[in-house]
Amino acid sequence: MASLTQVLDADLDAIEVGSGILGTGGGGNPYIGKLRCREELRKGRRIDVIPLAELDDDALVVSLGGIGAPVVGVEKIEQGEECLRALRALEQELGHKIDATISSEIGGANSMEPMLTAAQAGIPVVDGDGMGRAFPEMQMCTWSIYGHQSFPSAMADEKGNIVIFRQTASEVWLERLARSCVVTMGAAAGIALAPMRGSFIKQFAIPDTLTQAWSLGKAVFEAQAENRDPIAAILEHEDGRLLMTAKIVDLKRHLKGGFAVGEVKLEGFGNFAGETGLIDLQNEFLVFRRNGEMEICVPDLIVVLDSDTGLPITTEVLRYGQRVAILALPCHDLLRSEQALEVIGPAAFGYPDLTYSPLPRTSEREAAQ
Amino acid sequence: MYRIGIDVGGTNTDAVIMDGEKLILGVKSPTTQDVTSGIVASLTQVLADSEIATDQIGAVMIGTTHFTNAVVERRRLSKTAAVRLCLPAAECLPPMVDWPDDIRETVGGHYWMAKGGNEFDGREISALDEDELKGIAEAIGKQSIDTIAICSVFSPVNDEMERKARDILAARLPDANFTLSSEIGRLGILERENAAIMNASLRALSAETVEAFGKALESAGLSCPCFITQNDGTLMSAEFVRAYPVLTFASGPTNSMRGASFLTGEENAVVVDVGGTSTDVGSIIKGFPRQASTSVDIGGVRTNFRMPDVFSFALGGGTIIKPEEDQPIGPQSVGYRIHTEGLVFGGKTLTATDVAVGLGMADIGDREPAGSLGKTLLSKMYAIMDEMIVNGVERVRVSPDKIPVLAVGGGSILMQDQVGELPVIKPENFAVANAVGAAIGQISGEVDRIFSLDKTSRDEALETAREEATQKAIAAGAKPDSIEVLDQEDVPLAYLPGNATRIHLKVVGDLDG
């Protein structure tokens, strides 16, 4: 797979689709972020991508993105340089220049802001992220799991306010303080988290995920253009498994503690006729059960696609009668350690009785035979 | 009093005359270049055929795709100035940023961003700056633009800044017409602003069209009020359409689905409209189309109108069948040439209609040429077509209940009396379902905004929304005692402190008089 070294206008649609698929039903809509990246390119700025391997060990890398309520983000669009101001504030606070940006979450909307901020700052964006997918909270990314403490961090709004969180008692406290601050700022702001060293990022970021989102989106477009099955293309690209082709026969959704929670009942068709499926969701798709038995759960990716177009379906547009393909994609090993599973395994989402059993990759399946 | 419903389509202008709930008769005549003479022709014919005096007609309802077509074809759009009140927010994505180049050029691509706008909770992002707006008025005047769209951040929550800005600009541009985004759209600034700009650019055409409709009624000897249907199937006065032409978008499929529901008396159903080239499938709930939850492109421009959720696929009466190919059904169609090219009409092309006739499902033209292909082959082809229809119906079906399927459109002979497990009903007069849908239009009022629940309960907020929507419906001409809630939805806002909820509520009532 060729690496993405520079993002051009023509690449943005593919990244949008790829990050939508990796969003596993959540992560927010990357549409506005895509338009903003395009505007940066039209101004003549460049989005350069740096692979993990090329980072200096002592380089300073900042994870940044928008923070606030998604419904506000589509109405009060950012002024445009919130994250850049937050990044500059961090540089000033630390007395060091930041060398690159990185996304904490490749799945969904947060894939875009680090690219456009990098373009504005004249630095590269790292080809990697902190989840390889989407999760509902900031501390669910690999750097928080593997011990990075996000202070000092900086937050900026469109009006010229900048807040530095010089010290926070824990990652959860930062999330709490940042949330109440962003409400006062009008529920949309940019946040830049404390920089990490290149050596740490090389060890703990999920590698190559910008390239992955881009080439995944391209695989879908190419399959569509050649009238091939886009779902087969996604499975091949991601080394995934088709869990079921099914029709949604029941759907329950409600809001609990700020999160969209619910379940989707499925009835198999085609090769899966006669089977039933059930997906639990909490912003993202969490657990898949076949005929009542748990088969796949977090942190592996459960992806729901339109069975004809291969385009991802997010939890808010699910509805009765949709014909869908359910895919399982293996998550990165960094998400499978005991340490990681405490934060993003089934128990962390309220399923203490479920045991995570990693979805084998092709190489692992072959080795087992 | 009687009502007349008119559907101005691309090919035909249909008219029906109704006595309350009863359809008296319907007529079809060709749509004309000038639109007016086609309407006059159908009006005259429907009045003559029914022998009803013009003074017995209480109202005329018109459904038209005129404005949608103008946008799609980039015709007759005026140069427009877009003014957004937002700074310092939203500077990074200027108005019309995601429009196709050709339509942006057609409307001139002129925009100004100024201080103003509100937060989600009603606070100001920044105060309105009168001097700044005076400067913008001068710049617009220099460009000789007299059509202006104003969009302010969170104007669906608070429209005061849009109105103030209009007053400031209007004082300096007395001949300009204004479209305020809060009057036509809902949350989602880019989509709402797009709709406001499109609306503004259609104002000249709408003034002309509404006048033409008036003249058509006059020529037919009618002096009753004239209404035009909007995208949700409810009515607007002709005067209202003059100011808000954009609200007529997508009224075509809505009228067809509502007409099918009315003609069969089925309020909850799936409607399958089979044309010559393609099939549209949609769901009817309580007599109104189910609406799409995603954004809708009109001529390449993204909007967030509430449009009917319609699934279309390439199967119609004229669809070409090639039995020897892997995918033998379409997508090409002989279209209107079926009357010369189809086998049953003595032509040489095997079409979907020929398959149906060959199998004895319909009796049109000469059965022999298609019948001679043999039952095995025809049944095999029909099975694929049937699967396409079943798949389409399953896609839009909203519940496991055994609701009926309503088949309308000239190609509905392709449908048997069962789609999967669901029974099929084919109404009489299915060919004029659109005009019937226009004639039965009701009046609506709608509210869609964020309510803070800090000082009020959820029930009180819903009551406030219901009252606001009811007042809007009465102002638009609804009979107060007939008003009921059609649609109500409240969504607590994720990631905001627990006290904000977005309420969307719509009421409908019968036309007064």
Distance of CA A169 to the CA centre of its chain: 26
Helix (H) / strand (E) containing B355: helix B352-358
- In the chain, the amino acid numbered B69 is N
Higher pLDDT among residues B72 and B229, named by residue: B229
Shared-domain flag, residues B237 and B182: no
Shared-domain flag, residues B394 and B355: yes
pLDDT of amino acid B269: 94
CA distance A62 to B393: 50
The mean pLDDT value for B129-149 works out to: 96
Residue B495 has pLDDT above 60, yes or no: no
Which A residues in the span 96-155 are in contact with B, Cβ-Cβ below 8 Å? none
Instruction: Enumerate the residues of chain A whose CB falls inside 8 A of the CB of residue B89.
Output: 76-79, 158, 186, 188
Q: Which two tokens stand for residue B228?
A: 């035009």
**A72, A260, A320 ranked by CB distance to B399: nearest:** A320
CA distance A37 to chain B (A): 10
Q: Among all residues of chain B, which has the CA nearest to that of A116?
A: B92
CA distance B29 to A142: 68
pLDDT of amino acid B492: 65
Residue B497 has pLDDT above 60, yes or no: no
Residue matched to tokens 């189910």? B290
Which A residues in the span 175-194 are in contact with B, Cβ-Cβ below 8 Å? 179-180, 183, 186-188
> β-pairing, B57-64 with B2-8?
parallel
Cβ density class B430-442: b for 16+ within 10 Å, e for less: bbbbbbbbbbbbb
pLDDT of amino acid B422: 93
CA distance A200 to A194: 13
For residue B477, what are the contacts with CB-CB under 8 A and spacing of at least 6?
Answer: B235, B237, B443, B511, B512
Query: Quick check: A94 contacting B, CB < 8 Å?
Result: no
Is B397–A317 a contact, with Cβ atoms under 8 angstroms apart?
no
pLDDT of amino acid B513: 63
Shared-domain flag, residues B170 and B99: yes
Shared-domain flag, residues B60 and B19: yes
Instruction: Enumerate the residues of chain A whose CB falls inside 8 A of the CB of residue B91.
Output: 79-80, 158
Collect the ranges in chain A with pLDDT lower than 70.
1, 255-259, 368-369
Lowest mean pLDDT among A37-51, A191-205, B236-250, B447-461: B447-461
Shared-domain flag, residues B179 and B89: yes
Q: Which of B495, B499, B501, B504 is best to mutate for the A interface (most A CBs within 10 A)?
A: B495
Residue B422 resides in a domain: yes
Q: Which two tokens stand for residue A188?
A: 């949309």
CA distance B35 to B216: 9
Contact of A80 with A45, CB cutoff 8 Å: no
For residue A133, what are the contacts with CB-CB under 8 A and spacing of at least 6?
Answer: A22, A23, A24, A27, A105, A106, A107, A284, A299, A301, A331
Instruction: Enumerate the residues of chain B whose CB falls inside 8 A of the CB of residue A159.
Output: 88, 125-126
CA distance A289 to chain B (A): 21
CA-CA distances (angstroms) from residue A182 to A20, A104, B96?
25, 18, 28
Read out DSSP for A149-168? ---SEEEE-TTS-EEEE---
Instruction: Enumerate the residues of chain A whose CB falls inside 8 A of the CB of residue B497.
Output: 180, 183
Query: Quick check: A259 contacting B, CB < 8 Å?
Result: yes
Which A residues in the span 15-74 are in contact with B, Cβ-Cβ below 8 Å? 32, 35-36, 39, 68-72, 74
Closest CA relative to residue A231, chosen from A248, A247, A243, A214? A243
CA distance B79 to B57: 39
Instruction: Enumerate the residues of chain A whose CB falls inside 8 A of the CB of residue B86.
Output: 76-77
pLDDT of amino acid B10: 67
Q: What is the pLDDT of residues B287-328, one digit of tens each?
A: 888 877 667 788 889 987 777 888 888 888 889 999 998 889
What's the CATH number of domain A230-368, 2.40.390.10, 3.30.360.10, 1.20.1050.10, 3.90.1300.10?
A: 2.40.390.10
Shared-domain flag, residues B316 and B361: yes
Q: Among all residues of chain A, which has the CA nearest to that of B397?
A: A321
Strands across the sheet containing A276-282: A293-297, A284-290, A276-282, A259-268, A241-256, A323-329, A301-306
Shared-domain flag, residues B179 and B237: no
Handedness of CA B187, A66, A111, A316 (dihedral sign): negative
**A35, A79, A322 ranked by CB distance to B97: nearest:** A35
Contact of B418 with B409, CB cutoff 8 Å: no
Q: What range does the domain containing B470 cover?
A: 442-509
Residue B496 has pLDDT above 80, yes or no: no
Is B495–A69 a contact, with Cβ atoms under 8 angstroms apart?
yes
Query: Quick check: A321 contacting B, CB < 8 Å?
Result: yes
Contact of B66 with B209, CB cutoff 8 Å: yes
CA-CA distances (angstroms) from residue B208 to A49, B34, B38, B214, B242?
54, 11, 16, 10, 8
Q: Among all residues of chain B, which has the CA nearest to that of A249?
A: B400
* DSSP SS3 for A305: strand
pLDDT of amino acid B12: 75
**B92, B120, B395 ranked by CB distance to A36: nearest:** B92
CA distance B436 to chain A (A): 29
Query: Quick check: A251 contacting B, CB < 8 Å?
Result: no
Is B293–A319 a contact, with Cβ atoms under 8 angstroms apart?
yes
pLDDT of amino acid A250: 85
The mean pLDDT value for B468-495 works out to: 82
Residue B458 resides in a domain: yes
Is B495–A68 a contact, with Cβ atoms under 8 angstroms apart?
yes
Residue B138 has pLDDT above 80, yes or no: yes
pLDDT of amino acid B73: 83
Instruction: Enumerate the residues of chain B whose CB falls inside 8 A of the CB of residue A183.
Output: 496-497
Q: Among all residues of chain B, which has the CA nearest to that of A258?
A: B494
Q: Which two tokens stand for residue B340?
A: 């010369």
Handedness of CA B146, B147, B153, B159 (dihedral sign): positive
What's the CATH number of domain A6-209, 3.40.190.80, 3.40.1610.10, 3.40.50.720, 1.20.1260.10?
A: 3.40.1610.10
Is A187–B119 a contact, with Cβ atoms under 8 angstroms apart?
yes
Higher pLDDT among residues B200 and B503, named by residue: B200
Higher pLDDT among residues B69 and A234, named by residue: A234
**B92, B189, B498 ranked by CB distance to A75: nearest:** B189
Helix (H) / strand (E) containing B162: helix B160-172
Shared-domain flag, residues B334 and B422: yes
Contact of B414 with B317, CB cutoff 8 Å: yes
Q: What is the pLDDT of residues A110-163, one digit of tens each?
A: 999 999 999 999 999 999 999 999 998 888 999 999 999 988 999 999 999 999
Instruction: Enumerate the residues of chain B whose CB falls inside 8 A of the CB of residue A79.
Output: 87-92
**A36, A260, A321 ranked by CB distance to B397: nearest:** A321
CA distance A206 to chain B (A): 26
Query: Quick check: A311 contacting B, CB < 8 Å?
Result: no
Is B187–A79 a contact, with Cβ atoms under 8 angstroms apart?
no
CA distance B94 to chain A (A): 10
Cβ–Cβ pairs < 8 A, chains A and B: 118
CA distance A25 to B150: 35
Residue B270 resides in a domain: no
Q: At what angle do helices A113-121 and A82-94 cross, to 10 degrees?
A: 60
Closest CA relative to residue A94, chosen from A197, A180, A176? A197
Instruction: Enumerate the residues of chain B whose CB falls inside 8 A of the CB of residue A247.
Output: 394
CA distance A134 to chain B (A): 16
**B98, B189, B398 ranked by CB distance to A321: nearest:** B398
Instruction: Enumerate the residues of chain A whose CB falls inside 8 A of the CB of residue B189.
Output: 74-77
CA distance B117 to chain A (A): 9
Is B187–A322 a contact, with Cβ atoms under 8 angstroms apart?
no
CA-CA distances (angstroms) from residue A307 to A81, A248, A252, B266, B328?
39, 12, 21, 30, 21
Instruction: Enumerate the residues of chain B whose CB falls inside 8 A of the CB of residue A39.
Output: 92-93, 97
Contact of A190 with A67, CB cutoff 8 Å: yes
Shared-domain flag, residues B327 and B417: yes
Domain map (residue ranges) of chain A: 6-209, 230-368
Residue ending a domain, choose from B166, B186, B201? B201
User: With bands split at pLDDT 50, 70 and 90, how would you rate the model's confidence at B499?
Assistant: low
Instruction: Enumerate the residues of chain A whose CB falls inside 8 A of the CB of residue B187.
Output: 71, 74-75
pLDDT of amino acid A61: 97
Is A71–B502 a contact, with Cβ atoms under 8 angstroms apart?
yes
Shared-domain flag, residues B223 and B86: no
CA angle B380, B383, B385 (to 5 degrees): 115
Q: Which of A32, A34, A75, A110 is best to mutate for the B interface (most B CBs within 10 A)?
A: A75
Shared-domain flag, residues B192 and B218: no
The mean pLDDT value for B410-424 works out to: 88
Contact of A25 with A284, CB cutoff 8 Å: yes
Shared-domain flag, residues B62 and B208: yes
Q: Among all residues of chain A, which has the CA nearest to that of B496?
A: A69
Q: Among all residues of chain B, which has the CA nearest to that of A42?
A: B97
Is A183–B496 a contact, with Cβ atoms under 8 angstroms apart?
yes
CA distance B65 to chain A (A): 28
Is B190–A319 a contact, with Cβ atoms under 8 angstroms apart?
no
Q: Into how many domains does chain B fold? A: 4
Q: What DSSP character marks residue B56?
A: G
